[in-house]
Amino acid sequence: MKIFLFLTFVLVLSLSSALFSTEAFGQAVSLKNFNHPGIKWGWPIKAEQYVFTVNTTSNYDMQNVTFNKDAKTLTFLGNSSHTGNIAEIEIPTNLIGGNYTVYQDGNQVSPIILKNANLTTVILKFNDTGNVKTDVIGTTYLPEFADIAPIVMVVSFGILFLTTKYRKI
């Protein structure tokens, strides 16, 4: 009975963290101190039968985003007329995940990468002007059964509970 209570407790904790993940909110900032305020775009990316939204916020013109599922790569094309560029790219973990490698104009860079269960944020800073091509490469693509795994776990524990209950009779 103790093990059953322990497993139920673990199951409830894992499901509650998956279902009730919280978003972070930042403080409002005045744009009058910035020379080039950010532009936010939501890019719909089709992968198999799903559509994911990749959000970008940058202080330069982000012109296009493409996805190559075989290479697990998102390619961002942009153009900047100034130096001091920064971009934040929010990638759903179910689209591409794992360890990320980032290239700008063919050169590997070391961005800031922040991860949580559902989203990875890649933060890039660079001083180039003109056209810029950024490739973000992941090691995993569209994990199968990611959404159904908690349901399978609940059904499994239910079957386990019923079989142990009726075995005593």
Is the pLDDT at 68 greater than 90, yes or no?
Answer: yes
What does the pLDDT read at residue 29?
A: 47
Does any domain span residue 161? no
Does any domain span residue 5? no
- Residue among 3, 83, 77, 6 nearest 43 (CA): 77
Rounded Cα distance between 93 and 53, Å, is 11
Please give the structure tokens belonging to residue 72.
């697990």
Does any domain span residue 20? no
Does any domain span residue 2? no
Rounded Cα distance between 14 and 108, Å, is 36
Is the pLDDT at 163 greater than 50, yes or no?
Answer: yes
Is the pLDDT at 64 greater than 70, yes or no?
Answer: yes
What does the pLDDT read at residue 144?
A: 56
Does any domain span residue 8? no
- Residue among 113, 104, 69, 106 nearest 85 (CA): 104
Domain extent, residue 80, equals: 36-146
What does the pLDDT read at residue 157?
A: 74
Q: Distance of CA 112 to CAs 122, 124, 132, 134, Å? A: 6, 7, 18, 14
Does any domain span residue 82? yes
- Residue among 89, 120, 119 nearest 104 (CA): 89
Average pLDDT over residues 137-150: 72
What does the pLDDT read at residue 135?
A: 96
The number of folded domains in the chain is 1
120: region left, alpha or beta (phi > 0 left; psi from -120 to 50 alpha): beta
What does the pLDDT read at residue 57?
A: 92
Is the pLDDT at 53 greater than 90, yes or no?
Answer: yes
β-sheet with 112-115: strand ranges across: 39-47, 50-58, 85-92, 119-126, 112-115
Average pLDDT over residues 79-95: 91
What does the pLDDT read at residue 37?
A: 57
Mean pLDDT across the chain = 80
Does any domain span residue 130? yes
Is the pLDDT at 17 greater than 80, yes or no?
Answer: no
Percent of the chain predicted with pLDDT > 90: 38
Does any domain span residue 155? no
Is the pLDDT at 85 greater than 60, yes or no?
Answer: yes
